[in-house]
Structure formats: C-alpha cells, structure tokens
Amino acid sequence: MHMSNRRPIVAGNWKMNGNLALIKQMEALFSNAELSHVDVVVCPPFPYLGGFNGSAFALGGQTISHFESGAHTGETAASMLQEMNCQYVILGHSERRADNNESNELVAEKVDVALKHGLIPLFCVGEPEDIRESGQLFDYIAAQLDAVISKVGIAAFNDIVIAYEPVWAIGTGKTASPAQAQEVHAFIRQHLAKQESDIAKQCVILYGGSVKGSNAVELFSQPDVDGGLIGGASLNPEDFLSICLAAKR
C-alpha cells in the first residue's frame, strides 16, 4: 500500500525546447486545473525561468553547477535558481551524464550543493540497454545511488526525489512495462532501506521514459511508482495535464 505521505509528483523536463508562447499556454491551462492531489513541476531551459508568473505549478532547473559562483562561463549557480523561485532541480539526467560526462561523483557533488541551497533534487538514475541486457542493471543503479548516499548521507533522502529513467526508453518511444518499472522502483526502495527503512518508505520515486497520457495511469498505479519525470509529452499542455491528472491517488 502507498504511504499516505508519499505525495505524487509529476515533473516536466522541457530539455532544450519550448518558447514564450508555450509558457503562456501552459499557465493558462494549468491555472484552471484541479490538481490538489499532485505536485506539478515544470523545468524549462534557463532563459525562460523568469517568464513564468509562478502560480500554476512549481519551477525547476535542468541542472546546476557544482561551483557556488565565479569564473565559470555558461554555468548556473544553485543560488540563482533559488532567486528565480525554483524549488527543484534535475540532477544526473542521463543526457547530462552522456553529453557532459557527468560522473556519479560529480552528480553527488551537485546534489550536495542543491540541498545546501534549499533546492529539491530530482535525482536521476537509470541504465543503458547494454547494461540491462548484460544483467548488471541493479549493480549499475546501486552505484549511482551509493555515490549520492556516501556524499550527503541517507537522511538527506528526506529531501531528495529519485527519478528512474531507463536510458533506452528516453525519447525512443519504448517504455518500460509497468512491471519493469515497478521492479526497479522496488529495488531502489529496498536499496535505501538497507540504510534506513523509514526514509526508504517515504522517498518519492518517479518514473521517466516515454510516459504519455495513454500509459500514465497504469505506470502510476504500481505500488512503488510515485509519479513521473516527463520529457516530450510535457511540451504539449493537454498531454501534460492528462498525465498530471493520472497521478491523482
């Protein structure tokens, strides 16, 4: 059974997409929606953060620098996101790990910085297809989790949201089956429980990877799936809203 305190979250990751018109459409649609049972987060590209009026949903960044400030051209500090009314930040997304060579250790450092600045990390873990096929799935995800646990401690997971994104299902149209998603979510929760069972029970774990309105209800009904981190479908206001409504428990 779901713990009553595991409130569902649906976060939209716009990636390098979107424009000012989309912000207006999204805010207009969501300002009239009845979404008291779910926390909705939108994570647009950095230049657009200031374009939201901030009432319809929470905002998040797509990454932060592990530096606090200084001579780091093109980087964005946690303190800046906080000043722009962000509550969340996506960290360790597989695209950052691949495109920007972000290691487990660097991701852990960023999680630490985010927490120090009062941001809630949407901390992403997940395996490429070859890892799943070679049977190393759980070791691979355990290593991603352990880097963060050893950096910030298990108690910090009271303030961290985990997102499981199988890399082979991101933007490919392939979705992990509800059973595949549940299997990994249960593993993540059990892995945290080795350290501290109460924290594991209340940790919110989202699924990401080709979530659509048509498969969201079934995915979100799995006992250890507490919502979603949505890519492509978060760029269509109606699709995104239908996914948010699917997370109502």
Of the listed 93, 102, 127, 185, which one is catalytic?
Answer: 93
Q: Could you tell me which residues are annotated as the binding site for substrate? A: 13-15, 171, 210, 231-232
User: How far apart (Å, rounded) are the C-alpha atoms in residues 132 and 90?
Assistant: 23
165 in catalytic set: yes
Of the listed 27, 109, 165, 185, which one is catalytic?
Answer: 165
93 in catalytic set: yes
Q: Could you tell me which residues are annotated as the binding site? A: 13-15, 171, 210, 231-232
167-203 exposure pattern, b = at least 16 Cβ within 10 A, e = fewer: bbbbeeeebbebebbbebbebbbebbeeebeebbebb
Residues involved in catalysis: 93, 165
